[in-house]
């Protein structure tokens, strides 16, 4: 993770320097263009003897000062934000999930870009930026679970389970943060999972989002939630037999007395039991558990 952070930081610095140079040259270019136009107009007016030499100089200086004030105070910030949005775009479109969001939910995609730029302006560090993007993209993904086909929903949970198992082998605390990022922040999966596993997760997420738009299922949410609750009862009973009252930890993971290692264990076991159900039941239970 440290190496990734250093690379990201170096890229950000290089990008910031390039943007600074670009903005300075744009400012110089437009200032020169304005000066040329103003000088041409004033020279024409002087030739027609509408103004004198002193007036020519006074007007020229006043206009140039006014232009620089306006450009610096109002126009340059807009140009800088436009460049920041372009940079956010160039980074985000490399990830399949954001490609899908851009294609099928452009308003959401634009909002994500705006948040990335705002986070940078507020001085957010790498991990905070990752948390922000994870939270937003996860919320969007959950919103597409009900219209998404069963097989896509199951595929996403399978890869999520594999990620959790892999992360737990490295750190119980990181495992807890992976499953419950809203409690005390998330983790950087890029630093804790292999590139191959990350790619499979991104592909599963993006395929789920795409399928929820291109081949949406007609969902009867109340009926499906009731059926899911019925299918979930045997799973809960098995978990209660194994963990007893500790099962409450995953219902209220923010509680002070939560054992984070055990909460991670219970979550992994819950997902294993859900995936062992028949596909239609498994998909219904996944939708209910992850959204409720």
**Which pLDDT score is estimated for 99?**
81
- Rounded percentage of the chain residues whose pLDDT exceeds 90: 39
Written as six digits, the tokens of 212 are 């929820």
Least confident piece of the model among 15-19, 188-192, 231-235, 238-242: 15-19
Average pLDDT, the chain: 78
**Which pLDDT score is estimated for 136?**
80
Residue 13 reports pLDDT greater than 70: no
**Mean pLDDT of all residues in 190-217:** 91
Residue 87 reports pLDDT greater than 90: no
pLDDT tens for each residue of 151-184: 999 999 999 999 999 999 999 999 999 888 878 8
| pTM of the predicted protein model | 0.67
With b meaning 16 or more CB within 10 Å and e meaning fewer, what string describes 56-74?
A: beeebeebeeebeeebeee
Q: Which residue has the higher pLDDT, 115 or 281?
A: 281
pLDDT tens for each residue of 254-278: 998 899 999 999 999 999 999 999 9
Question: How many H helices and E strands in the chain?
Answer: 14, 0
Residue 193 phi/psi, 5-degree rounding, is -120, 155
Q: Which residue has the higher pLDDT, 177 or 18?
A: 177
Local confidence band at 127 (pLDDT 50, 70, 90 cut-offs): low
**Which pLDDT score is estimated for 110?**
85
DSSP string, 244-266: GGGGGGGTSTTSTT--HHHHHHH
Q: Are 239 and 269 in contact (CB under 8 A)?
A: yes
Local confidence band at 11 (pLDDT 50, 70, 90 cut-offs): very low
pLDDT tens for each residue of 31-84: 565 556 666 666 766 676 566 667 656 665 666 666 566 655 554 455 565 666
**Which pLDDT score is estimated for 75?**
46
Residue 191 reports pLDDT greater than 50: yes
Q: Which residue has the higher pLDDT, 109 or 128?
A: 109
């Amino acid at each position: 993770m440290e190496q990734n952070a250093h690379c990201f930081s170096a890229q950000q610095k290089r990008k910031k320097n390039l943007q600074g140079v670009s903005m300075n040259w744009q400012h110089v270019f437009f200032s020169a263009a304005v000066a040329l136009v103003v000088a041409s107009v004033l020279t024409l007016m002087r030739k027609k003897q509408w103004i004198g030499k002193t007036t020519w100089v006074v007007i020229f200086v006043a206009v140039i000062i006014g232009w620089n004030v306006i450009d610096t105070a109002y126009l340059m910030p807009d140009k800088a934000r436009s460049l920041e949005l372009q940079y956010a775009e160039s980074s985000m479109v490399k990830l399949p999930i954001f490609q899908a969001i851009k294609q099928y939910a452009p308003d959401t995609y634009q909002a994500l870009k705006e948040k990335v730029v705002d986070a940078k302006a507020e001085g957010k560090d790498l991990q905070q930026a990752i948390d922000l993007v994870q939270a937003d993209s996860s919320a969007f993904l959950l919103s597409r679970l009900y219209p998404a086909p069963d097989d896509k929903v199951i595929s996403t949970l399978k890869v999520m389970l594999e990620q959790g198992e892999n992360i737990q082998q490295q750190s119980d605390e990181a495992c807890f943060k992976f499953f419950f990022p809203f409690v005390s922040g998330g983790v950087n999966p890029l630093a804790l999972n292999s590139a191959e596993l990350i790619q499979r997760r991104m592909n599963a997420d993006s395929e789920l989002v795409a399928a929820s738009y291109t081949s949406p299922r007609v969902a009867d949410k109340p009926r499906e939630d009731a059926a899911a609750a019925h299918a979930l009862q045997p799973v809960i009973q098995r978990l209660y037999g194994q963990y007893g009252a500790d099962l409450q930890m995953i219902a209220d993971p923010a509680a002070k007395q939560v054992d984070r290692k055990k909460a991670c264990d219970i979550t992994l076991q819950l997902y294993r039991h859900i995936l062992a159900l028949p596909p239609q039941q498994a998909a219904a239970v996944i939708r209910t558990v992850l959204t409720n």
